[in-house]
Amino acid sequence: MLLSDARKARARLVGVTDAHQSPVQYDPPVSASEHAVWQSALDTLFPVSDEASHFRVVWEPGNAWMVDGMWQVVERWFLYEMFPIWTQSDEGVLEELDGPPPHALNRYRSDLQDVATVTTITQRQWDLYRETDRRFFARPYWVIQGDIGGHKCAYATAERTLRKFAGLAPDAPLPGTLDYAPFDARVVRHLHHLADLRRFRQRLHADRRLRVAQSKAQRLGREREARALQLRWIEDEIDMEAARAVRREAVSQNADPRRVDTDFSREWETTRATFLETGRLGAVKPL
């Protein structure tokens, strides 16, 4: 089987004399035209702007080296959040973005068993900075894998706490550990919720900046609405049916699964109500 030019170039870069040694698939598994359709859908939800972040869908193949005897294969689609470069205040990061490519600075052992990184940014971030005419700094935000449209690359404190309560692992799955999935309606559903949340937060920020007069009841109502959007976003990502299944399995030897499901629903509704009214999770009781 012929290797792509990109795969050959990457293999040469890390010192592989026979590129067939590396199992990494550098070419995306979809056509450029289909990729462009995905990006267009993203741009509709999150327009490209120098005032706010937007997203780019990027194929991440992984790397042609080993760690603990395992090839660092990823081969998943990522959504990178693209921040206007003026929001990046870390001088070290800015210097690295304008400096030589990280792959030229990082050092690899000839047997591909290790890599010594000397930069804080990745080659992908360096590339995306240039692909956007040095206008945006990219951070990985979402990995598309699994059967519910993917998940964030890292969870915030509230998300970790609610996942523990639901009986799920608090940390995000590693890229490449769930089944491959394309950019499809499942991903778009998540992003619609995120777009709604962002738009509402932007309106709140604008009102505060313009000092729009509001009664206390109006202010509290809008804050509650913002928390409701945030909770919908988190619940959609958690996959509540999976959470119920986890709890049923955990107590299957000691209780009626139907009762456990009912108890979980009641506990979850109490937690939701507390969060909506106060913005705090309270003393949630993990599984």
Q: What are phi and psi of 173, to 5 degrees?
A: -60, 145
Judged by average pLDDT, the poorest of 16-30, 56-70, 151-165, 222-236 is: 16-30
Task: Return the closest-CA partner of residue 195 out of 229, 218, 171.
Answer: 229
Per-residue pLDDT of 71-124, as tens digits, reads 567 889 999 999 999 999 899 999 999 999 888 776 655 554 555 667 888 889
**CA 187, 191, 192 angle in degrees (round to 5)?**
115
- DSSP structure string for 217-251: HHHHHHHHHHHHHHHHHHHHHH-HHHHHHHHHHHT
pLDDT cut 90: percent of the chain above it: 31
Distance separating alpha carbons of residues 287 and 284, to the nearest angstrom:
10
Whether residue 178 contacts residue 145, with contact meaning beta carbons closer than 8 Å, is answered with: yes
Distance separating alpha carbons of residues 267 and 75, to the nearest angstrom:
38
Task: Give the DSSP letter of residue 153.
Answer: S
Q: What is the pLDDT of residue 10?
A: 40
138-157 mean pLDDT: 91
Per-residue pLDDT of 171-199, as tens digits, reads 888 888 899 999 999 999 888 888 887 77
Q: Tokens for 121?
A: 């940014």
Distance separating alpha carbons of residues 140 and 152, to the nearest angstrom:
9
